[in-house]
A and B are shown apart, each in its own frame.
Chain A
């Protein structure tokens, strides 16, 4: 026992006396372990642990019916309660149903405003999902449709968790409603950006049976989530959902034209466990991260293995003597294990600590990409897994450290002429490991750089317009009825909305910039997409309808390609400008200019004809949007009310606008407007590209770590080789070898390993990537240029990693070895 005790003591002492071994081990192993533990904790929360809010998730499914309007445009059909209510009647009565329509709303509680998510639901939905009722009454009660339920988080901030919330009222959408209950935060369904807003949720409930009596509104596009609960045999199948759809459209849509439209569109139906629907792409992301981090850990371990082998080869004699004295190899291994325990314990502690911090940083790092971030933590199982990983690594290290101490090696070392200089020790293991590591590095670098390149291309692509010093100024509508009434006009010019915008523009003039009377910057948050059937070709045309205002094209440098820009005189006409995509879609890529002067029918109505006066260059209206927005665009002089009243101002260079400054000018425009906000075009660009840029940085960090690990590994191995060959090099130098020829010798020595590793790595990464891309849809296409570059950079880095330590050894007067003998 005392043998082990003294080994442990040795190990503790070595922490300080041998920093060359202990420091790299603790840091490398600790940090890679932290990365692995973090990803394991994420995987545990997202894939394994029960969902925090939904109970009995095994039996709850999400139902989707999606209509393909055109190539890029897919809209959920189950967005209205009456459709879901019909479905409920269609299937077995033993199934439970739930439906939530998601929207945004400003709510006012005790004169304070909150940005909340509005959940218009079928009564009983929270109960069916198993959401806890913290306070108040069941959502199926009689009064339900007159009141609201709020989420626990909103209750916290607005009422300080007081029970008297139940007697209060809240204002929203121009109405005052009593709070009837408090529900647990709904977290495990995809509510858009809700999680970032702190789960402030306001629930409204409608009776599905009542909804059944309402006529089909023929509206598409809002977001609806539909859930069904029941045993597997009773659940709707994806085919039966198709049948339901036909049934529903036949029964509920009376008009022939929309009926034909709805029945003519392709449909996808899906029924999947609620967790799968929620995780979506995150699952693949987590698995990919897990693989990447484990690869990094393996690479780090391979490096440390080499260091260990070097260290224990240096102590070969010590162990040979122990061995001669009759100590079984097993006992020596255990002694090494104990000796290394303090070092590995430190590494584990560092790993756990770093993982803890990494997890705290996750909201910054992962942003919208991962759900349930606040539920991820380091728990007992993470600690156990971390400990287990480290014990396994230590055991492996101890095993390998003594691989060369056997009878054979002993006699060999006695017979050696090298006076104990380790001139002959085997390095084959280190080399095989290094080849393996190079292959891994190649693959990891290829995957990460290809996706980094994709992100880069996405973020920094040509948008088709310049980014001048532009600001979007917006105000909330406090009265929703008024807001809706603004949108109903015969002619835009002269309408209430038109006049409101004119007076807003007039006031904004006082800011000293150039006011452009359009609602949005060219980088838009909201895009109006119109789809209609072309009466001539029967094709569905999808396009973006964008408002035009004087100065919009020149100020943002959107190039006019043919015809002319619109003029103020065009206000009362049907004149429009289209973009090149639009023109090409109509007239082909050769004659697209001919569209100028042509009248176009924009639907079946004879009146709905526009006259194209000019063609402008294509622009990208958004970056990182979930759907492809590279659609034909039509610019016309007409505005929509939108969710907020907004307008663009371009300020002189270097001049910024503050919300206060703007409020002073427009604050008293109308009592029904409030909450002025100012967004610069840079802010818009940054918020639009944030996720993609972050992804890029994370992926680039992984790539950099990979490269660093590979460089450390190979240079460590070369240093070891050079040190072991010091004696041979000294003899060669004494017999007349020049420094350069010694370098060549060492390079040649490492060359085979490097070439094998790089060639194998290149082949594996080319085929491996394509194989992975066939499994994971999100992976971008394979790019030869990136793959070649990875090979080249890695080859160069490896060459340097071999040459530098070798050269340093050669420079350090190797003949000293001979003089010392």
Chain B
């Protein structure tokens, strides 16, 4: 299996006005193609921080990070953007859809920035929206659809470019059980179809559905746990 994510001794400090927060303290991990990894841990332990670094939204203070064989150290802003665009789909904890664009346009963003032709974009966007069950709301504005629907649109946007890696931050945090279950089902489906997924959650029901759980505490990996027969498991 190909290695998608390879992190070595990642450190991250935030420099505040007075205090320096050491959010990550030497994290090393690997994610192989087709894996479904869940990152868990108490609030403030550094889960989101790790994910933003993995998603190239931020850079580590120390350590090396390779994604799909590309060393990300010393990349310029635009080079990082290109890598992100081609290899990573990111689902934000707070959806982050652009209010002034329609659902369709929001999902089309990664392909448009890639410079794809219109027909290609259109076909891919429709396919992605159908996949998440939002094909009937393409011309709506984000504030005209519900939270669960917004989350599904955000997932469609993450997968539309067929990235090597989909990063998901608390996909169910803002949702009720029913919507949360539906979103989780969707992610499992995508993983079955071949997507590599790294998901942050502190809901043990959902983390248990992953192949592998990585537990963080105070910016360090404290436990790694393989879940054997995930194929047998279903969302309760």
Contact = CB atoms under 8 A, between A and B. Distances in A.
15 contacts: A416-B143, A417-B97, A417-B142, A423-B98, A727-B96, A727-B98, A728-B100, A734-B84, A735-B90, A736-B81, A736-B86, A736-B109, A738-B113, A740-B78, A821-B94
B85 interface: yes
A599 interface: no
B57 A818 contact: yes
B94 A419 contact: yes
A596 interface: no
Contacts of B92: 818, 821
A819 B57 contact: yes
Given A416-B99, A739-B77, A815-B57, 4 more contacts: A417-B94, A735-B90, A738-B82, A819-B58
Contacts of B58: 815, 819
A731 interface: yes
Contacts of B78: 738-740
B110 interface: yes
Interface in A726-744: 727-728, 730-741
A92 interface: no
Contacts of A731: 96-98, 109
In this complex, the member of A727, A733, A736, A738 whose beta carbon has the largest number of chain B beta carbons within 10 angstroms is: A736
A213 interface: no
A114 B229 CA distance: 116
A415 interface: yes
Interface string B197-216: 00000000000000000000
Contact of B113 (A415, A419, A423, A737): A737
Contacts of B99: 416-418, 423-424
Most chain A CB within a 10 A radius of its CB, from B55, B99, B150: B99
A741 B113 CA distance: 8
Interface string A449-461: 0000000000000
Interface in A701-748: 727-728, 730-741
B89 to A, nearest CB: 9
A20 to B, nearest CB: 19
Contacts of A733: 81
A736 B110 contact: yes
Interface in B122-150: 142-144, 150
Contacts of A736: 81-82, 84-86, 109-110, 113-114, 161
Nearest to B145: A417
A412 interface: yes
Nearest to A819: B52
A737 B81 CA distance: 7
A821 B93 CA distance: 8
Most buried by B among A416, A424, A734: A734
A416 B145 CA distance: 10
B102 to A, nearest CB: 13
A821 to B, nearest CB: 5
Interface in B66-104: 77-78, 81-82, 84-86, 90, 92-100
Contact of A732 (B86, B95, B109): B109
A118 B95 CA distance: 89
Given A416-B143, A821-B93, A735 B109 contact: yes
B81 A738 contact: yes
Q: For the side of the interface on B, what is the size category?
A: 20 to 34
A184 B85 CA distance: 86
Nearest to A740: B78
Nearest to A810: B77
A600 to B, nearest CB: 82
B11 interface: no
Nearest to A414: B143
A821 B169 CA distance: 12
A424 B142 CA distance: 12
Given A417-B95, A423-B98, A735 B157 contact: yes
B52 A735 contact: no
Contacts of B90: 734-735
**Nearest 7 CB-CB pairs, A to B?**
A736-B85, A736-B113, A415-B143, A735-B109, A735-B110, A737-B113, A738-B78
A786 B13 CA distance: 57
A417 B92 CA distance: 12
B60 to A, nearest CB: 13
Given A417-B143, A736-B109, A739-B77, A818 B96 contact: yes
B188 to A, nearest CB: 24
* From A412, A415, A418, A739, residue with most partner B Cβ within 10 Å: A418
A424 B97 CA distance: 12
A412 B144 CA distance: 10
Interface in A143-180: none
A664 B109 CA distance: 90
A415 B99 CA distance: 10
Interface in B12-31: none
Nearest to B77: A739
Contacts of B144: 415
Given A734-B57, A819-B58, A821-B92, A412 B100 contact: no
Contacts of B100: 423-424, 728
Contacts of A424: 99-100
Nearest to B95: A417
Nearest to B111: A736
A156 to B, nearest CB: 68
A572 B209 CA distance: 125
A731 to B, nearest CB: 5
A419 B143 CA distance: 11
Chain B CB within 10 Å — which of A412, A415, A735, A819 has the most?
Answer: A735
Interface string A395-426: 00000000000000000100111110001100
